[in-house]
Amino acid sequence: METKKRPKAAVIGTIFVDCKGFAAGEYHPQGRNVGEIGFVHGGVGRNVAQNLAGLAVDTRLISTVQGNGIGLEVLQRLQACGVDTDAVLRTGAGGTGMWLALLDAEGNLLGSISQMPSIGLLEQSVAIALQNGNGERQSFVLEVDLSEQISRQVFAAARREGHAVYGLPGNLSIMEKHPEWLGEMDLFVCNDLEACRLAGQEQRPLTREQAEALGLVLAEQHKCPRLVITLGERGAVFFEQGQAGFQAAEQVQLVDSTGAGDAFFSGTVMGLLYGQTLAQAVLLGTKTAAWTIAEQESNCGSLGEKIAQDPAFKAAIAQ
């Protein structure tokens, strides 16, 4: 089977080390809970970079990592997955973020605490990488809520070099102040609660119909070329050129829900990089998320094998 030339992407985002606790039974907030605790590699930027590399995208990560044992282990795994880590700045303390998460016996997230890496160090890393040029990279993949400086620099570089920007939120601390940046990105993916915040509404789960109505307003108001609002197990709605579409979720046995949003985003971006329509790309994102939540890691470790066997991915990659 002939395949298209692998597209290139530069991912700009964070590296975290996640500490996850899984309750063995019913979780009691005020009591002692027996379960399992483990450390896994995480962070939006790192998750997306590993996903894209597994999805047959030539991927470079622009980030920071503390140059200690676990930080070097993160880089080694990324390199083994095919991610170019030359633009990851090795630092002292503050280079790697930490995320503490509690999950119930079914894999649903109960609560979390996040310790961000140093934004100053991350700004330094991005400035160095952009100064060296994006080269033949066909797109920027941006974790938008890093800092205003980083987002503005990436948007300027994308306009200068004629490259697309695919964005997803972190904690909305930046995007909530700049919803107009939806018009700077060729794709923006968020969940229904985040969409409510961007629209200045109270956060609440949305029905498909409510999400479609809200998404059309956001896309039109801020001239967003492509917008996707995920609804968890209820699927996703997507918007392009004033038209709305819907993609149902795939039913799988949930093991760990963390990383699902990053996986959905990654599969959708991969589809667009391979020239698929938004509807086709969202299907690929849905499949990637389903494979990810069926595993305990924040990434599906066998993406390469799965896309080689899946008809939708094979059609996207083949000539």
Task: Name residues whose C-beta falls within 8 Å of residue 225's C-beta, 6 or more positions apart in sequence.
Answer: 183, 185, 186, 187, 240
pLDDT of residue 295: 86
- Evaluate whether residue 2 is within a structural domain: no
Residue 172 lies in a domain: yes
Q: Are strands 97-103 and 109-115 parallel, antiparallel or unpaired?
A: antiparallel
Question: What's the domain range around 278?
Answer: 8-25+36-317
Residue 99 has a pLDDT of 84
181: domain CATH number is 3.40.1190.20
Residue 3 lies in a domain: no
Cα–Cα distance between 173 and 159 in angstroms, integer? Answer: 24
Q: Is residue 161 part of a domain?
A: yes
95 located within any domain: yes
State the 10-residue block means of pLDDT for the chain, 319 residues long.
Answer: 79 92 89 89 95 97 92 94 96 92 86 91 95 75 97 95 94 93 97 96 95 97 97 96 95 82 97 97 97 86 94 91
- DSSP code per residue over 2-40: -BPPPPEEEEE---EEEEEEEESSS--TTS---EEEEEE
| Confidence (pLDDT) at 132 | 81
Tokens of 85: 């880590």
Instruction: Indicate the number of domains in the chain.
Output: 1
**Which one-letter DSSP state was computed for residue 234?**
G
The reply to whether 64 falls in a domain is: yes
41 domain residue, yes or no? yes
Residue 1 has what pLDDT?
45
Q: What is the pTM of this model?
A: 0.91
Does residue 30 lie in a domain region? no
Coil/strand/helix, residue 104: coil
